[in-house]
Amino acid sequence: MKILADTNVPEEYVSALRGDGHDVIYSHDVATLGPEATDDAITNYAEYEDYAILSTDVKYFGSREAKVPVFVAPQSMSGGDVRAAIARIEAIPFDPTQTDPLWLSGV
């Protein structure tokens, strides 16, 4: 899965997902976004490039409508918890773009 991690996502989450073979990039590493990218810019880029979004920003991304999956991971989760939640989501036969943002702590 291609995942665009918001700048506030802990490296532990990104490393765990990369370890499972996911293509994870940070928004601040994308030249057209940079470290000060707005949430709207992150969403637009993810939709255009077909990336799921991973964020710990529960205030904004917890209710964000997007055409790509939005995963919200509270910072209290471990990298292993995030990895396991994404694996469970991938195993479910549904389209995560057709749902509200998914709170990984509840998966």
CATH hierarchy code of domain 2-106: 3.40.50
CB of 3 closer than 8 Å to CB of 24: yes
Cα 3–23–64 angle (5° rounding)? 0
pLDDT of residue 70: 87
pLDDT tens digits for the chain (107 residues)?
A: 999 999 999 999 999 999 999 999 999 999 999 988 988 899 999 999 999 999 988 667 656 678 888 898 988 999 999 999 999 988 887 676 666 666 677 66
pTM of this structure: 0.88
Q: Quick one: 18 exposed, middle or buried, by C-beta within 10 A (0-12, 13-18, 19+)?
A: middle
Rounded Cα distance, 68 and 48, in Å: 9
